[in-house]
Amino acid sequence: MFVIKKLEKESDFNGSLNQETFVNFLHQHLDKFRDPKTDINKSIDYAFSESAGKGGFLLTGYYLGNLAAALVMNQTGMEGFIPENILVYVAVDSQYRNQGFGKQIVRSAFDHAEGDVKLHVEYDNPAKRLYERLGMTTKYAEMRYYK
């Protein structure tokens, strides 16, 4: 049975799972789509922040007692033209892929989020099809300017 748990503050981590373990899991299982661990940590700190306009939550998915999936959702502090939430990271352990765990944890994140959700996904990421099956649509191509 796949069990999903929501974490809303650092103290929600338990003895076998702490922020470092969570970050390491995401970093490993995001594969070629990974960001540096420092960026993953920042997204978690943002999710746990109690500052105005910040916040969010993490989800963990366990299968047979093992961490099988992890997700980070950040609140944007916006609404309308920029959705209220951004799904920053979601990863499923490679040994548990194609069992529906990604679908379950993303759907759970949609249920927990207050307001609309956006995410960024590479065009060649196989998860893009999952997001489309869950009802997400493509509105914009993201462009960035780096200083």
Polymer length of the chain: 147
Q: Which helix (H) or strand (E) holds 89?
A: strand 85-92
Distance CA 142, CA 86 (A): 14
Full set of structural domains in the chain with CATH: 2-133 (3.40.630.30)
Contact 78, 97 (CB under 8 A): no
Q: What is the pTM of this model?
A: 0.94
Tell me the pLDDT tens digit for each residue of 22-81: 999 999 999 999 999 999 999 999 999 999 989 999 999 999 999 999 999 999 999 888
Residue 13 burial (CB count, 10 A): 16
First-residue to last-residue Cα distance in the chain: 47
Token reading at 121: 């996904």
Task: Report, as an integer, the average pLDDT of 119-139.
Answer: 92
Average pLDDT, the chain: 95
For the cut 90, the answer to whether the pLDDT of residue 140 exceeds it is no
Q: Residue 97: its pLDDT value, please?
A: 94
- Residues 6+ away with beta carbon under 8 Å from 71: 58, 59, 60, 61, 87, 89, 90, 91, 105, 106, 109
